Amino acid sequence: MTVTLEPSLGDVHAVVEEVWSSFLGAEEPILPLATPMPPGGWSAAITVSGGWDAQITVNLTDGAAQAVTSTMLMCPVEDCADEDLRDALGELVNMVGGNVKSLMAGSAVLSLPLVGHGDISPGSHLVEVCRLELTWRGEPVVVTVHQPPTADPS
Amino acid sequence: MHALIIDDSKTMRSILRRIVTELGFETTEAGNGQEALDVLEAGLVPDICLIDWNMPLMDGYTFVTRVRADDRWRNVTLMMVTTESEHGQIVRALAAGAHEYVIKPFTPDAIIEKMELLGLVAQEVPA
């Protein structure tokens, strides 16, 4: 029997692609292409607790965050307030986190999302186990999964 | 026809509202299960409730159990629309009285297909 201790990069990528294509338009796919992330921007994080403990975080530039919000709410970028960005990015990380959680064994619970300008630090007991550096509409998008360190099976 | 959309995300309520409005539904929105119960108590009897699971104050599962425990709302169709995709939770929601279950992310067609199956929307006949 195989016990999966952490999500694979490919599985997390598939989840992110599905969320993006469902809500942000399949005609503008999120690409597996690293683009330098400038300082600042927005972060949205959600924690999973129970059979699997983790934090899933999505980092976006201001431009990407505004484009996500504008597309999901179908309103012009200039009409998107910070409150709208928080809501849209919260829903985005909720979908990414919920579907990554479903990849893991055991029953677990999702928190409500936390969204803010700048970085959201994972708990000090967590280590990065998965990092996706992506590009959407020419802007960098980074998705990370942090979880407690697992014992080395070797 | 009337749909009550229950989700703590304004963005998701907006997405669902666009889909069901296109189908000819009037809509009312609530940000959590308690707000939705208040709407029902105030007299609205919707044809369908689209219900998120993970919400503050009252989650979607609790809302389903409360609605199903009250005979006034026995004819209201309940559809979960949620990121909660554990098999055990899906079974739990359906056992509590939800009629359908849609996992986010979804396409508009997925929602429309479920509503067709529930008889709330006329099924498209292939040409």
So what's the pLDDT on residue B18?
Answer: 96
Q: Which domains does chain B have, with CATH numbers?
A: 2-108 (3.40.50.2300)
A67: closest CA of chain B, how far (Å): 13
What is chain B's percent helix, strand, coil content, to nearest 5? 45, 20, 40
Element housing B90 (H / E) = helix B87-96
Give the tens place of pLDDT for each residue, A24-82.
987 889 999 888 899 889 999 999 999 899 999 999 999 999 999 999 999 999 999 99
Instruction: Report whether pLDDT(B40) > 90.
Output: yes
Residue B127: pLDDT band (50, 70, 90) is low
Flag whether residue B82 sits within 8 Å of chain A, measured between CB atoms. yes
Could you tell me whether strands A114-117 and A42-50 are parallel, antiparallel, or unpaired per DSSP bridges? antiparallel
B105 → closest Cβ in A18, A90, A110: A18
So what's the pLDDT on residue A35?
Answer: 86
- Arithmetic mean of pLDDT, B102-127: 88
DSSP A39-100: SS-EEEEEEEEESS-EEEEEEE-HHHHHHHHHHHHTS-GGG--HHHHHHHHHHHHHHHHHHH
Flag whether residue B9 sits within 8 Å of chain A, measured between CB atoms. yes
Task: Give the C-alpha distances (Å, rounded to integers) separating A59 from A16, B91, B107, B127.
Answer: 13, 34, 24, 46
A154: closest CA of chain B, how far (Å): 31
Q: Which residues contact B90 (CB under 8 A, 6 or more apart)?
A: B80, B84, B101
Q: What is the ipTM of this complex?
A: 0.88
Nearest residue to B100 (alpha-carbon basis) of B13, B28, B1, B3: B3
- Arithmetic mean of pLDDT, B42-52: 97
- Arithmetic mean of pLDDT, A82-94: 97
Residue A94: pLDDT band (50, 70, 90) is very high
Q: Which residues of B46-71 are buried (b: 16+ CB within 10 A; e: fewer)?
A: bbbbbbbbbbeebbbbbbbbbbeeee
Residue B122: pLDDT band (50, 70, 90) is confident
A16: closest CA of chain B, how far (Å): 10
Burial of residue B23 (CB within 10 Å: 0-12, 13-18, 19+) is: middle
Q: What is the mean pLDDT of chain A?
A: 91
Suggest the residue from A70, A95, A110 to mutate for an interface test with chain B (most B CBs closer than 10 A). A95
Q: In whole angstroms, what is the distance from residue B127 CA to residue B124 CA?
A: 9
So what's the pLDDT on residue A152?
Answer: 54
Q: Which domains does chain A have, with CATH numbers?
A: 9-25+41-145 (3.40.1550.10)
Question: What value, to the nearest 5°, has the Cα angle with vertex A29 and ends A130 and A128?
Answer: 10
Residue A150: pLDDT band (50, 70, 90) is confident
Residue A1: pLDDT band (50, 70, 90) is very low
What's the pTM? 0.91
Flag whether residue B32 sits within 8 Å of chain A, measured between CB atoms. no
Residue A2: pLDDT band (50, 70, 90) is very low
So what's the pLDDT on residue B86?
Answer: 86
So what's the pLDDT on residue A121?
Answer: 85
Give the tens place of pLDDT for each residue, A101-133.
998 988 899 999 999 998 888 888 899 999 999
